[in-house]
Structure 1
Amino acid sequence: MPVPYNFDEIIDRRGTGSLKWHYNDDTIALWVADMDFKAAPPILNTIERVLQHGVLGYTKPTDALYQAIIDWHGSRYGLALNKKHILFSHGVIPSLALMLRMFTEAEDAVMVNDPIYAPFMTKVEQNSRTLVTSALKEVEGKYQLDLADIEAKIVEHEVKLYLLCNPHNPGGRVWTRDELQALLSICKKHDVAIVSDEIHQDLTLNGHTFTPFLTLAEGYEHKVVSLTSMTKTFNVAGIKSSIIFAKDEALINKINWQQRLSDEHDLNLFAYEVTYSAYKEGREWLAQALTYIETNIEFAVQFLNQHLPDIKVMRPEASYLIWLDCSAYGQDDKTLYDALRDAKVELSAGIQYGDAGHLKLRLNVACPKALLIEGLNRMHAALNSVNGHK
């Protein structure tokens, strides 16, 4: 029988330099996308073993590490990889910036969806590219790609690169194979490169199937790159480690060369060791974590439906993030956000994810249930006081 892991344990993260828990009071943090669960014991044991060894010298990726990555993605998603398809990076966002340099020049148009994880937009603009957005359509409580709008804007703006988020953040959609095929057809027709951020892939929830974009890209692999990481999956974001996948030899060599120009092609000892341990030994912890997260999602949805029925809840298909439409509670984003902060509970303000995030909030439920209950109760009190709601 598997050993049960304790996801109810409350670990005080204040005073540790935590980004999420930076407060000097008893605010409940339900915002930034990391979990409040202790990392998987196999990972902690790996770190302890490295420390006990005592030598923390220069390190390179081992064949065993490559094989663990290959086995994980092959067995879970049918993504056939070999060692030559894999590069390492310090993070998905640095990799996004690198991909802008790979596929575009200054002023070239780059398309993202709206809403989207904020760095998709900021990195495009900070790298002097032209940001083009295509708003997602909300149909029966979930987002869909507006394929007609995507193609029209690709043509109008001569888009060179499409940055895809799959599973989607903040909406939690796991794009279907058919949706991805349709998007690929449009991009192939207009010679648009595709970079797919797949960092939430392993957090796909029951009843949904994640499709790696590279499994669809045969014949177009010179224009497709996927980015992922085990750090989100196993709650080790403080250990900077991510992976770049590309199947075209010339493209992967070009990316590798660009990384080496600034010596950004390797990771530290702990990143390599933790990545190996996560993919080799983390399956049971992840399975139990997902079960706990799904229970928290169900609890949060029922609580909001009962106590804040004017909120439109978008149930996620992946991740532990719930997208909430709070437009019934006012017309000003700052007022909405500040009401929560005054009640000592923090969610992510939706407006940071683009214009479509107006009067929306992103709720993180990857925490012990006791913290979630307290946070939701504070949220209930705060929003019922906004604009006279009772």
Structure 2
Amino acid sequence: MSYNFDEIIDRRDTGSLKWHYTDDTIALWVADMDFKAAEPILNAIEQVVQHGILGYTNPTEALYDSIINWHGRRYDLWLEKQDILFSPGVVPSLVLMMNVFTEVGDAVLVNDPIYTPFMTKVEQNGRKLVLSALQEIEGKYHLDLADIEAKIIEHDVKLYLLCNPHNPGGRVWMRDELEALLAICKKHNVAIVSDEIHQDLTLTGHTFTPFLTLAEGYEHNVVSLTSMTKTFNIAGIKGSMIFAKDKALIKKIGQQQQLNDEYELNLFAYTAMRSAYEKGDEWLAQALAYIDANIDLTVQFLEAHLPKIKVMRPEASYLIWVDCSAYAEDDQALYDTLRAAKVELSAGFKYGQEGHLKMRINVACPRALLLEGLTRMHAALGDVVKP
């Protein structure tokens, strides 16, 4: 079937985090899409409701098969049932992994910039946060492998939290980059947890490599985290997966989950996950094509109307990282200027020191909304170019 991604659905007064406003602000910030979920997912949830009994639920064999088949046929990541654990979300899983691989006071390495919880959860859980700045070369980020190894040695790092595809930069790390990173971590016995929640949103021309496909011989120190929620715009349902291929490691993770009783999902999450992985391909292909066109539109608009903004074109996802340093000198003032124009982006300074004077734009919305948001950006910044 053909999906209408131009449809504007009013999300105000629904408890929406993204659309919490009482005015006509255009929301181009938090990472959820303004597209109606795939019909097979909505139908599956409706069938559960019509059944009428919403009792305790376990994952079924059909659910495990759907997860295994999706990751095998798309990424050549062939899992077995015992390699899969469930978690309420990727961020809770990041905290769980810190408890599995580290002790209070241990050093945890993340890149800068990075999705905010990578930093905050490390510090909130009593670990030492170590940052390695990404290198921007020809408009895209690269891992600074020399700096990563130096930081590992200097701080006796125990755990590396990788974001692949990268948020906010949209980079899909290439196989040779990941292999080089793995070699460094193996050399220094550093565990690797790879947040791969944006994997299914990899755009045309780029190839996503699951870290577990590289980890032979080091499986006891590698975990991947992912979810169907970003892929299919069902984040409000809550649900994610933990993948590991070492039996002792899976057992240890499971035992850690038992401490907090956080090892199962709700009925609707199991239902949506299975439906998404069995029947979601068509919706996803159409959504990605629409997102790609919105990325083109955004790049062209900014080049024409705000040419001093430097755009990092994403290789995955619907989030565009832009450098607004030609138009501002202060992070909070930049954010406030845009908010005064009634358009909200994600403030770059929340993603680390490398986010200074940068913003993150969410373009996964109907084109009319995107154009209005970009027009408001132009109105806000068009006359404030720094001398």
Listed one character per residue, the Cα deviations across residues 80-135 of structure 1 (whole Å, up to 9, x for unaligned) are 10000000000000000000000000010000000000000000000000000000
Asked if 2 retains the 8 angstrom alpha-carbon contact of 1:336 and 1:386, the reply is: no
- SS of match in other structure, 1:264: coil
For residue 373 of structure 2, the aligned residue among 360, 372, 375 is: 375
How much does 1:262 deviate?
1.8
2:182 paired residue number: 184
One-letter amino acid of the counterpart of residue 289, structure 2:
T
Aligned to 2:35: 37
- Cα distance in 2 for residues equivalent to 1:8 and 1:76: 28
2:20 corresponds to which of 19, 22, 25: 22
Q: 1:317: which partner in 2?
A: 315
Contact 2:326 2:386 in 1 (8 A): no
Q: Distance in 1 between matches of 2:235 and 2:120?
A: 20
d(CA) in 2 for partners of 1:121 and 1:261? Answer: 24
Aligned partner of residue 300 in structure 1, secondary structure: helix
Equivalent residue for 1:95?
93
> Secondary structure of 2:224's match?
strand
Structure 2 residue aligned with 1:252: 250
Residues 137-156 of structure 1: CA distance to partner in whole angstroms, max 9, x if unpaired?
00000000000000001000
CA distance in 2, matches of 1:181, 1:329: 39
Partner of 2:266: 268
Specify the code of the residue in structure 2 equivalent to 1:282.
G
CA-to-aligned-CA distance 1:334-372 (integer Å, 9 cap, x gap): 110000000000000000000000000000000000000
Fraction of identical pairs, as percent: 76
| Alignment deviations for residues 162-187 of structure 1 (CA, whole Å, 9 cap, x no partner) | 00000000000000000000000000
The letter for the 2-side match of 1:203 is L
What amino acid is the match of 1:277?
Answer: S
Letter of the 1:321 counterpart:
L
Does residue 111 in structure 1 map to residue 109 in structure 2? yes
Find the counterpart in structure 2 of residue 229 from structure 1. 227
Identify which of 156, 166, 169 aligns with 1:168.
166
Alpha-carbon distance between aligned partners in 1 of 2:386 and 2:343, rounded to the nearest angstrom:
20
TM-score (norm 1): 0.99
Which residue of 2 is the match for residue 144 of structure 1? 142
SS at match of 2:326: helix
**Structure 1 Cα separation of the partners of residues 2 and 328 of structure 2:** 44
Residue 384 of structure 1 aligns with an amino acid whose one-letter code is: G
- Give 1:356's aligned amino acid: E
Q: Helix, strand or coil for the counterpart of 2:213?
A: helix
Structure 1 match to 2:199: 201
Looking at structure 2, the residues matched to 126 and 188 of structure 1 have their Cα atoms a distance apart, in angstroms, of 27
Output the CA distance in 2 between the equivalents of 1:300 and 1:210.
24
Structure 1 residues 368, 147: closer, same or farther in 2, change over 3 A? same
Q: TM-score, structure 2 length as denominator?
A: 0.99
| Matching residue of 2:67 | 69
Aligned match for 1:281, one of 249, 273, 279: 279
Gapped regions of structure 1 (runs ≥ 5):
none
Unpaired runs of at least 5, structure 2 = none
- Give, in angstroms, the shift of residue 385 of structure 1: 3.6
Residue of structure 1 equivalent to 2:156:
158
What residue in structure 2 maps to residue 291 of structure 1?
289
Q: Secondary structure at the match of 1:102?
A: helix
Contact 1:29 1:347 in 2 (8 A): yes
How many residues in Structure 1 have an aligned counterpart in Structure 2? Answer: 387
Given candidates 341, 345, 348, the residue that maps to 2:346 is 348
Residue in structure 2 matched with residue 308 of structure 1 by the alignment: 306
Distance 1:266 1:368 in 2: 34
Cα distance in structure 2, aligned partners of 1:284 and 1:376 = 29
Kept in 2: contact 1:222–1:251 (CA 8 A)? yes
Q: For residues 101 and 258 of structure 2, what CA distance do their matches in structure 1 show?
A: 17
Are the aligned partners of 2:326 and 2:385 in contact in 1 as well (CA < 8 Å)? no
